[in-house]
Amino acid sequence: MKITLVGFKKEDRFSVGVANDEDKELINFLKDKGLDVVPTIWNDKNVDWNSFDVAVVKSPWDYHNHLAEFLSWLDHLETLGVKVLNPVEIIKWNSDKHYLKDIADKQLPVIAAEYLEKGSSFNTHFFDLFNAEKLVVKPCVSAGAQNTVTISRDNFDERSKEIDQFLKEQDYMVQPFVEEIKNGEWSFLFFDGKYSHCSLKTPKQGDFRVQHYHGGSISYPTPDPMYIEQASVYLKNLPQSTLYARVDGVLINNSFHLMELELIEPYLFLNGNNELQENYYQALMTLIS
C-alpha cells in the first residue's frame, strides 16, 4: 500500500513537499514501521495521484488561499478511488467556519458567533447582540489568524472600515472577545477519536493571538480528565471517523468551550515523541486496514 502525506510548497521553507519538521519526523517514523510513505504537495501538477492508495491531508497550509482549487483536488482524489484522510466530506465541511453554527445547533458549548455575508458591512449592533465591549472578526475561510481583527467601540471608525474592505472578498464571522483566551487556548489531540495529548497556547502580553509566530508560547500540561471528556464530545457528533482532530478552545467557568475544530491541517504537537507518533500510527493502520 502506497501512502502520501500531503503538504504545501513554500520555497523559503522546504523543497521536497514536507512543510515542517513534524512532517519529516512523522514520515521517518512511519517508514521505520515498514510503510511506503511519500511526501507530496497538494497542487503539484506533476504528481500522479493515481499511484497512491491513501492520501493523508497533513499540512496543506495554503489551502484557504486557494479553496476552490483545493476542493476540486479533493474531488479528483475521490474520483480516482484514493482513500483520503481526513475524509473529503469532513474536510469540505470544516473548511468554512459556518461549521461552528452546525455544532452550536447541537447544543454543544461553542463561542457565540454571527456571520456577515460577502459585500455586507459591519455595524455596531454586534456589541449589543453579544453584550460585549470588544469583538473578534475573522474570515470564514482562513488559517493562522489571517485577517483577524479585534474591534471595540473606541476604535470602531478605524476598524470597521478595514473590516468592510475585507468583506468585499468573502464572508466573515463575528464573535465576542473571550477574556479567558488570556489564560490560554487548549488544544486536545485525538487520533481515530482516541485522546492522545494536549497543548496550551498562551498569547504574549497585550495580544490575543496564540500562534507562536505571533509571539505566543506553548506548554504541555496534564489536563483534567473532565476537560478531555468535554473535548471528545465534539468528535462523537461527526458523521465519519477522522485520522486526526485538534479540538481548540478555552475554559469558561470550569467548562470547555470550542473555538475551532481543526480537521484539515493542524499542527499536531507530536514533537518527535515516539509515543505520540505511535498513537498516530495505530489510528492510521485502523483506518486503512
pLDDT at 7: 94
- Span between the terminal Cα atoms of the chain, in Å: 10
pLDDT at 6: 97
Alpha-carbon gap, residue 153 to 243, rounded angstroms: 43
Alpha-carbon gap, residue 199 to 46, rounded angstroms: 37
- Say whether pLDDT at 18 is over 50: no
Specify whether the CB–CB gap between 15 and 37 falls below 8 A: no
**What percent of the chain stands above pLDDT 70?**
92
Tens-place pLDDT, residues 233-280: 999 989 999 999 999 999 999 899 999 999 999 999 999 999 999 999
Residue 3: alpha-carbon gap to chain centroid: 22
* pLDDT tier for residue 197 given thresholds of 50, 70 and 90: very high
The predicted model gives 16-39 an average pLDDT of: 86
CA angle 66/70/72 to nearest 5° reads 125
Alpha-carbon gap, residue 82 to 272, rounded angstroms: 28
pLDDT at 142: 86
160 CB-contact burial (10 Å; exposed 0-12 / middle 13-18 / buried 19+)? middle
Neighbouring C-alpha atoms within 13 Å toward the C-beta of 98:
8
DSSP class of residue 235? H
Cell reading at 145: 489568524
Specify whether the CB–CB gap between 30 and 37 falls below 8 A: yes
Helix, coil or strand: residue 197: strand
Angle between the 21-32 and 274-288 helix axes, to the nearest 10 degrees? 70
Tens-place pLDDT, residues 113-163: 999 999 999 999 999 999 999 999 999 998 777 789 999 999 998 899 999
Could you give the residue ranges of the DSSP H alpha helices within the chain? 21-32, 67-80, 88-94, 99-105, 125-130, 156-166, 225-236, 274-288
* pLDDT tier for residue 185 given thresholds of 50, 70 and 90: very high
Enumerate domains of the chain plus CATH numbers. Answer: 2-85 (3.40.50.20), 99-108+180-268 (3.30.470.20), 114-177 (3.30.1490.20)
Alpha-carbon gap, residue 223 to 212, rounded angstroms: 21
Alpha-carbon gap, residue 75 to 23, rounded angstroms: 24
pLDDT at 47: 97
Other C-beta atoms within 10 Å of 10: how many?
Answer: 12
Cell reading at 195: 485522546
pLDDT at 187: 97
